[in-house]
Amino acid sequence: MPNLTLGPKVRNDLHLHDRKLKQLEERATTIREDIIDMLVEAGSGHSAGPLGMADVFAALYFHVMVHDPKKPNWKDRDRLVLSNGHICPVQYAALAHAGYFPKAEMMTLRKLGSRLQGHPDRAALPGVENTAGPLGDGSSQAVGLAYAALLDRSPWRVYCVMSDGELGCGITWEAMLFAGRNRLYNLTFIVDRNNIQIDGTTEEIMPLEPLAAKFESFGLHVERCAGNSIRDFVTAIERAHGVSEKPTVILADTIPGYGVEFMEYDFRWHGMPPKAGGESSMAIDQIRTLGGKIRSEHE
Amino acid sequence: MSNQKPGINREAFLVRDLFDKEIEQKPTRDGFGLGVVDAAKLDENVVVLCADLTESTRALWFKEKFPNRFVQMGVSEQSMAAIAAGMAMAGKVPFIASYAAFSPGRNWEQIRTTASLSDTNMKIVGAHAGVSVGPDGATHQMTEDIAIMRVLPNMIVVSPCDAVEAKKATMAGAKVVGPVYLRFAREKSPVFTTNKTPFKLGRAETFRFGDDLTIIATGPLLYEALLAAEQLSKRGIEARVLNVHTIKPLDTKAIALAAKETGAIVTVEEAQAAGGLGGVVCETVASLCPVPVERVGMPDRFGESGEPKELLEAFGMTAPYIAMAAERVLRRKRGEKVEATLPFVTAAAEKIVEMRAAVMKEALGRAPRKWGGNKSDLSLKSRTKK
């Protein structure tokens, strides 16, 4: 076994001031609006996952990760591997706001000639680390990146966002065996634990609980957090950074469709956008109301 | 030369208004949904396993009728294949349903060992095959499935041309003992065959007579092949059109006869032009009756996001490109010199650049102020209050 000792050296100050928290929450609200706008322009795509993960993505791209949108190929950037590629609208919106590409391109999602493919294409869009869509492959790619980083004694970290539904893929657990065995502590898996998949709830389709125990038995450190609370998620990330002998998996309990009341918790919104008109404008209104609620807490 | 007058084969019993713009359209996956229910009524051993795609593969229709014979797998295509094989070893007739990109795309080895090599009586249902999946993009547009499935010994590979034939293929697949791959599409396509249209696994059907060349097509693009034949007919070229729904075992007699009688072949498939139908036809004529062949299909590239109809045109799979391939193969048949590049591939490559630019210009032209454009945010489709 190679000597995998030296770890990450560069990281952002993760202390979350109230003002920073408020900025991130506003960012998440903007991203949610953009998700609805993009999906309705596209006329197809996934709603529930992207909305549920807007807080995590706002936190990752605007607080947690060390990256430079002006230098998307900077060798020491932190890597975000998106394993459940179908939630890419949330990643696209975050990348656009971070400055990886012009925001106007959000108009082109899923259209012929767009860099914003229906599922992410790493060759097409700056900031996209991996081509994804078929579930399960991302966790192994993340393991490969993290292993190579340790071989090279590189300072960067790997974050892998994955869904709970895709834990049905056997390859996920092959990756976990390897990650645990090689103590890839520069790697953090973030599982969007929203309890839904295409055909129904995860516990009805193929039960996953007790999920934390499963990951622990594979040699991973497990954190559980409220995935729609940026503060809670960032705390979980800080704890993950503090674990130096194991990879961490953060089970982020999220509400699918978060922010749009008629979508929340409903698996039928996994794979479709709201209809243009009354439905979509109601979605936008509800997201704004949510933003209002959150802001008032910190003012 | 055959003795048949050029034109549609009346004994194929195609729909009456074959080229009517209002022709009924249905996705071939609907044919699977109906066929598997009927097959299950005839054989109580038929069971369906599905990997979290019950509605879109139409396995749902079976689940509603036979809830106790439906097995939900979750996102587990690899174990789905091997578990189905286990059930087949116990006498069941399992159909495993997912998208072709995942099954057989992901679980090919399990299929190779537990279905093909083990020669078990299981059926692999690959829905959403081809580029007509549309906006989901390259990851979900399976274009290699015909090639990877047709090289498996024991495997029967069927690619039906419309929803009616898809139902027949599903029922026939349930009856035959052994592994079968059934390929279906997501997008609606013309329903142009009827219940009376002859269908037998392993037998190619002549849908149009003609002796100048043969267009051999599989799947919904067969309709484009018929349209191309009509266009060619107006220019005095009479194309024979063969429906090769069964790619394996191939009807080598029909292919060899077509090669002998028409002396030129164009293959058409919504899949990689290498290795699939194009590949097997080339292999067949090379050993039995070498004639020039042109292959219409994906030209060694992946798909991309777009509307299904746009993509079929952008990748050069529609009637005008099939006609261009026919023109080239006829020049070769006459022994004329042809350019090294394929004009039907080059033309499509030029067309896609043009189409992409037009679609992007339209979309970016409507960008709202919040995204750096000059249109009101309220002009977004999502903001229209109806």
Categorise residue B201: left if φ over 0, alpha if ψ from -120 to 50, beta otherwise. Answer: beta
Distance in Å, alpha carbon of A35 to nearest chain B alpha carbon: 10
- Are B359 and A166 in contact (CB < 8 Å)? no
Q: Indicate the DSSP class of residue A167.
A: G
Tell me, yes or no, whether B341 and B360 share the same domain.
Answer: no
Q: Of B128, B146, B187, B166, whose CA–CA distance to B298 is shortest? A: B146
- Are B384 and A276 in contact (CB < 8 Å)? yes
- For chain A, give every domain's residue range: 18-297
In B, residues 226-255, which contact A (CB 8 Å cutoff)?
Answer: none
Q: Which of B24, B77, B205, B269 is catalytic?
A: B77
Query: What is the model's pLDDT at position A4?
Result: 52
Query: What is the model's pLDDT at position A297?
Result: 43
Which domain-ending residue is among B158, B190, B222?
A: B190
Contacts 24+ apart (CB under 8 A), B64-69: B65/B37, B65/B40, B66/B37, B66/B40, B69/B40
Size of interface A-B (CB pairs under 8 A): 170
- Are A112 and B137 in contact (CB < 8 Å)? no
Q: Given pLDDT bands bounded at 50, 70 and 90, which one contains residue B21?
A: very high
Tell me, yes or no, whether B168 and B207 share the same domain.
Answer: no
Tell me, yes or no, whether B269 and B167 share the same domain.
Answer: no
- What CA–CA distance (Å, rounded) separates A2 from B118? 41
Residue pLDDT, tens place only, A9-63? 567 889 999 999 999 999 999 999 999 999 999 999 999 999 999 999 999 999 9
Indicate the pTM of the whole model: 0.95
Residue pLDDT, tens place only, B29-48? 999 999 999 999 999 999 99
Q: What is the mean pLDDT of residues A148-167?
A: 96
Which domain-ending residue is among B157, B190, B223?
A: B190
B307/A contact by beta carbon, under 8 A: yes
Residue pLDDT, tens place only, A221-259? 999 999 999 999 999 999 999 999 999 999 999 999 999
> Is the confidence at residue A73, as pLDDT, over 90?
yes
Query: What is the model's pLDDT at position B3?
Result: 79
> Is the confidence at residue B138, as pLDDT, over 80?
yes
Tell me, yes or no, whether B232 and B95 share the same domain.
Answer: no
Tell me, yes or no, whether B56 and B100 share the same domain.
Answer: yes
Percent of chain B with pLDDT over 70: 99
**Residues B145 and B183 sit within 8 Å (Cβ to Cβ):** yes
In A, residues 202-241, which contact B (CB 8 Å cutoff)?
Answer: 205-206
- Are B76 and A168 in contact (CB < 8 Å)? yes
Query: What is the model's pLDDT at position B384?
Result: 87
> Is the confidence at residue B196, as pLDDT, over 50?
yes
CATH code of domain A18-297: 3.40.50.970
Q: Which residues of B48-65 are buried (b: 16+ CB within 10 A; e: fewer)?
A: bbbbbbbebbbbbbbbee
A99/B contact by beta carbon, under 8 A: no
Question: Structural domain of residue B339, as residue ranges?
Answer: 202-351
Q: Is the peptide bond before B249 cis (omega within 30 degrees of 0)?
A: yes
Distance in Å, alpha carbon of A180 to nearest chain B alpha carbon: 22
Pairing verdict, β B156-158 and B180-183: parallel
A112/B contact by beta carbon, under 8 A: yes
Tell me, yes or no, whether B110 and B257 share the same domain.
Answer: no
Domain membership flag for residue B125:
yes
Distance in Å, alpha carbon of B374 to nearest chain A alpha carbon: 10
Contacts of A238 (CB under 8 A, 6+ apart): A14
- Are A111 and B359 in contact (CB < 8 Å)? yes
Residue pLDDT, tens place only, B273-321? 999 999 999 999 999 999 999 999 999 999 999 999 999 999 999 999 9
Q: What is the mean pLDDT of residues B360-385?
A: 96
Residue pLDDT, tens place only, A82-135? 999 999 999 999 999 999 999 999 999 999 999 999 999 999 999 999 999 999
- Are A121 and B137 in contact (CB < 8 Å)? yes
Query: What is the model's pLDDT at position A2?
Result: 52
> Is the confidence at residue B347, as pLDDT, over 50?
yes
Q: Nearest by CB to A134, which of B54, B102, B372?
A: B102
Number of domains in chain B: 3
Query: What is the model's pLDDT at position A299?
Result: 40
Distance in Å, alpha carbon of A8 to nearest chain B alpha carbon: 33
Query: What is the model's pLDDT at position A12?
Result: 81
> Is the confidence at residue A3, as pLDDT, over 70?
no
ipTM over 0.90: yes
Q: Given pLDDT bands bounded at 50, 70 and 90, which one contains residue B83?
A: very high
- Are B73 and A132 in contact (CB < 8 Å)? no
Q: Nearest by CB to A281, which of B304, B373, B385?
A: B385
Tell me, yes or no, whether B162 and B293 share the same domain.
Answer: no
Contacting residues of B for A280, CB less than 8 Å apart: 381-384
Contacting residues of B for A26, CB less than 8 Å apart: none
In A, residues 138-167, which contact B (CB 8 Å cutoff)?
Answer: 165-166
Go through chain B and tell me how many residues it has. Answer: 386
Question: Which of A112, A130, A135, A263 to mutate: most B Cβ within 10 Å?
Answer: A112
Q: Of B62, B33, B80, B44, whose CA–CA distance to B182 is shortest? A: B33
For residue A249, give the 3-state DSSP assignment.
strand
Tell me, yes or no, whether B174 and B264 share the same domain.
Answer: no
B269 catalytic residue (yes or no)? no
Distance in Å, alpha carbon of B381 to nearest chain A alpha carbon: 6
Q: Nearest by CB to A131, which of B134, B139, B367?
A: B139
Domain membership flag for residue B113:
yes
Domain membership flag for residue B325:
yes
- Are B74 and A205 in contact (CB < 8 Å)? yes
For every residue of A114-166, DSSP letters joined together read -SS-SS--TTTSTT--S---STTHHHHHHHHHHHHHHHTT----EEEEEESGG
Contacting residues of B for A131, CB less than 8 Å apart: 138-139
Tell me, yes or no, whether B96 and B215 share the same domain.
Answer: no
Query: What is the model's pLDDT at position A48?
Result: 97
Closest chain A residue to the Cα of B310, Cα to Cα: A112
Residue pLDDT, tens place only, B309-343? 999 999 999 999 999 999 999 999 999 999 999 99
- Are A112 and B359 in contact (CB < 8 Å)? yes
> Is the confidence at residue B112, as pLDDT, over 90?
yes
Tell me, yes or no, whether B31 and B120 share the same domain.
Answer: yes
CATH number assigned to the domain comprising residue B327: 3.40.50.920
Which domain-ending residue is among B130, B157, B190?
A: B190
Tell me, yes or no, whether B129 and B242 share the same domain.
Answer: no
**Residues B7 and B208 sit within 8 Å (Cβ to Cβ):** yes
Query: What is the model's pLDDT at position A291?
Result: 55
Contacting residues of B for A43, CB less than 8 Å apart: 135
Q: Which residues of B275-299 are buried (b: 16+ CB within 10 A; e: fewer)?
A: bbbbbbbbebbeeebebbbbbbbbb
Contacting residues of B for A276, CB less than 8 Å apart: 381-382, 384, 386
Query: What is the model's pLDDT at position A289?
Result: 85
Tell me, yes or no, whether B123 and B34 share the same domain.
Answer: yes
Query: What is the model's pLDDT at position A296?
Result: 42
Amino acid at B223: Y
Averaged confidence pLDDT in chain B: 97
- Are B138 and A119 in contact (CB < 8 Å)? yes
CATH number assigned to the domain comprising residue B41: 3.40.50.970
Domain membership flag for residue B2:
no
- Are A197 and B52 in contact (CB < 8 Å)? yes
Closest chain A residue to the Cα of B369, Cα to Cα: A104
